[in-house]
Every structure is written in structure tokens, then in C-alpha cells.
Amino acid sequence: MIATIRHDWTLAEILALLELPLHELLFRAHTIHRQHFDPNLIEVSTLLSIKTGACAEDCSYCAQSAHHHTTLQPERMLALDAVLAAARTAQAAGATRFCMGAAWRNPTDTNLEQVIAMIAGVHALGLETCVTLGMLTAAQARRLKDAGLDFYNHNLDTSPEFYPQVITTRTFQERLDTLEHVREVGLKTCSGGILGMGESRQDRASMLRQLTNLPAHPEAVPINLLVQIEGTPLFGRDALDPFEFVRVVAAARVVMPQSNIRLAAGRSEMSDELQALCFFAGANSIFYGEHLLTAANATAARDRELLARLGLQFATVAAERREPGGCHHQH
């Protein structure tokens, strides 16, 4: 049986999921996961920061905000050949998607044309393309779609209630507007959030509710664990209980059965056992490669070893969805 795709989850229902006995929640999530995906395949995307730091926004988690005093050195936009060299390396290491991020509030139209040249080059290598450039107008989303982009990443980051404590220079509604522009032109959306910023369980449920109640579930849902950056306002926050992280991954799988749930930033701080639990709970995608945007990622060598120990394989194309009725779990 294939899970129904719902857009009407209530906060109370999602909170109730998060509050289930852990094994109950894991069983439900894994059962749904197997109905929609091969449970032994992991999708791998590699990130590259194409324009680093000096960002006008005040996101309180971010190393790249000009509002904070971090040790990060700002860098101008990378040249096309440097981007393509990084994409070739990522592809040779086994990545199937290349995600380019820029520290902008929004791109100018000139910025966009430069990024489009990068998208074209990466696409020509045979990689899926994703960019995350901040807010987009409807016309800019259309331009990216026409240029052949596959995915646009734009995170909701947290609940609408907790959001004002995290970012003051753009609103939650502006994020929803960008996602709408992206969706309306037929780009695939990648949208998720960050855990461990001091939010409550209710905030975590509320963020998932916002994602599920979008007119279409995002095709990819990155769940980031806050990477604590010295000099940012969120540095020194209490660490999140790892089981709470797993619960959110599992609940995300239950409420968005067909989306790729990505175990995103923060894996370098996670134990192998925690990552294995997250994969069981329905995470089927990772960022792969030594760097995230500015922070270190789990190393590629550690990831290859971990996946081998768990009997998991890199998906050769984006994690394939099961054909309805084509499930091979025990009935």
C-alpha cells in the first residue's frame, strides 16, 4: 500500500508523531520508506560555495553573514573553470547532483546570467544541477528553468513562530513566496530546515507542517543539524538530543512519503550509529565531499566506509521511486 500524500497535517498530528515511543515511530517511518524507495540506496549531492561571505542577511546560524564576526574570509564569485573542475571531481567521486550556493540575499540579473553559465557547464557533464541563491523573483525563476536547472534550494529553516528569533532581515512569508515562484515554473524544490537552534519540539512539528502543507511537497527535504560557528549568535547553543533529531527525520518521512529526505549539515558531528538510525528512519540522501559551503563535512572516505558497513549503495541516478505496487517488502 502506498501512503496517501496529504497537505492537511495538523500541528497536533505531527506533534503526536514526534511523541510516539521511538520504536513505534521508526517502524512507521521505515514501513512508509520501503513502500516508496529502495531502502538500500542513498542519493549523493556535492556542495560548492560559488560566492562566499559578506552576506547582507543576518541569519543567526550562518558563518557568511556580514552581521557576525566570524573568521571566514569572504571570496568573490568563482570563475567558471574552477566551478567545472570541482564538478568533475565530485562526479568522479560518485556524486549525481552538484549544488552551488551563493551568499546573497537575492541574485541580481547579472549574477543570474553568470550562474546560468555554471549550470549549463555542470549539466553538460551529466550531473543534476541545484542552486541556492537566496530570494528569486518569478521572472528569475523562469529564467533558471529555461536555462535547464533541475533543483532550487530554499529552506524554510524553522517554524514561522521561531523564525523571528533567527532572522530579521527577511520574512518567513518571503521564503514561501520564493518557493512559490520556483514551484510555479516547474523547477524541483529542495526545502527543509535546521534543528538544534534552541527551537522547541512544537517548532519542529510546525516546520514540518509548513513543508507538508505547501501545494506540493518539496522533492528534496534537507534536515540540517546546526553547525555551530564561532562568532555567530547561535554559537554555544545546547546540543540537540540525537534521538530528537532521528524523530524529526522519521516524522518527515511519514508526512512526506515521496520526498528525498536529506541528512544534510552536521553529519561530521554525528556518530555512525546515529546516521544509521536516520537512514533507517527514512533519510535517503546526503551531502558528500569534504566541505559543505564553508564548514567541514564528514569526509568522503568516512562516508564510503560507513555506507559499505551498512550495506548501502550510492544511487546512480536520483534515488529511484518505487513503481506503485512494485514494493518488495514482506506482506
CA 132 to chain centre: 10
Single-letter residue type at 126: G
Which backbone phi and psi does 269 adopt, to 5 degrees? -90, -5
Residue 132 or 159: which CB sits closer to ligand SAM? 132
65 binds, among ligand SF4, ligand DTB, ligand SAM, none (CB under 5 to 8 A by kind): ligand SF4
Q: Hey, which residues between 147 and 166 contact ligand SAM (CB under 6 A)?
A: 154-155, 157
User: Active-site residue 278, yes or no?
Assistant: no
The distance of closest approach from Cβ of residue 104 to ligand SF4 in the complex, given in angstroms and rounded to an integer, is 7
The distance of closest approach from Cβ of residue 17 to ligand SF4 in the complex, given in angstroms and rounded to an integer, is 28
Is the separation of the CB atoms in 227 and 186 below 8 Å? no
User: Active-site residue 59, yes or no?
Assistant: yes
CA 93 to chain centre: 20
Give the separation between CA 77 and CA 52, rounded to whole angstroms: 7
**Set 175, 253, 262, 267: catalytic member:** 262
**Set 55, 143, 170, 204: catalytic member:** 55
Other CB atoms within 10 A of residue 100 CB? 25
Q: Does 59 bind ligand SF4 (CB under 6 A)?
A: yes
Q: Where are the alpha helices (DSSP H) in the chain?
A: 11-18, 22-36, 80-92, 109-124, 138-146, 172-184, 201-212, 242-255, 272-280, 300-310
Q: Does 206 bind ligand SF4 (CB under 6 A)?
A: no
Q: Does 103 bind ligand SF4 (CB under 6 A)?
A: yes
Cα 12 to Cα 8, 60, 189, 215, 257, distances in angstroms: 11, 28, 26, 20, 19
The distance of closest approach from Cβ of residue 313 to ligand SF4 in the complex, given in angstroms and rounded to an integer, is 32
Cell of 244: 530528537
Give the separation between CA 57 and CA 169, rounded to whole angstroms: 6
69 binds, among ligand SF4, ligand DTB, ligand SAM, none (CB under 5 to 8 A by kind): none
84 binds, among ligand SAM, ligand DTB, ligand SF4, none (CB under 5 to 8 A by kind): none
Single-letter residue type at 290: E
Q: Does 57 bind ligand SF4 (CB under 6 A)?
A: yes
Give the separation between CA 318 and CA 260, rounded to whole angstroms: 9
Is the separation of the CB atoms in 85 and 105 below 8 Å? no
Q: Which residues in this chain contact ligand DTB in the complex, by CB under 6 A? A: 47, 63, 101, 132, 153, 155, 192, 222, 224, 227, 264-265, 292-295
Give the separation between CA 230 and CA 63, rounded to whole angstroms: 8
Contact with ligand SF4 (CB under 6 A): which of 48, 55, 90, 248?
A: 55
Site size toward ligand SF4 (CB under 6 A) is 9
The distance of closest approach from Cβ of residue 5 to ligand SF4 in the complex, given in angstroms and rounded to an integer, is 29
Q: Which parts of this chain interact with ligand SF4 (CB under 6 A)?
A: 55, 57, 59, 62, 64-65, 103, 105, 134
Q: Which residues are catalytic?
A: 55, 59, 62, 99, 130, 190, 262
Q: Which parts of this chain interact with ligand SAM (CB under 6 A)?
A: 61-62, 101, 103-104, 132, 134, 154-155, 157, 194, 224, 226-227, 229, 265, 293
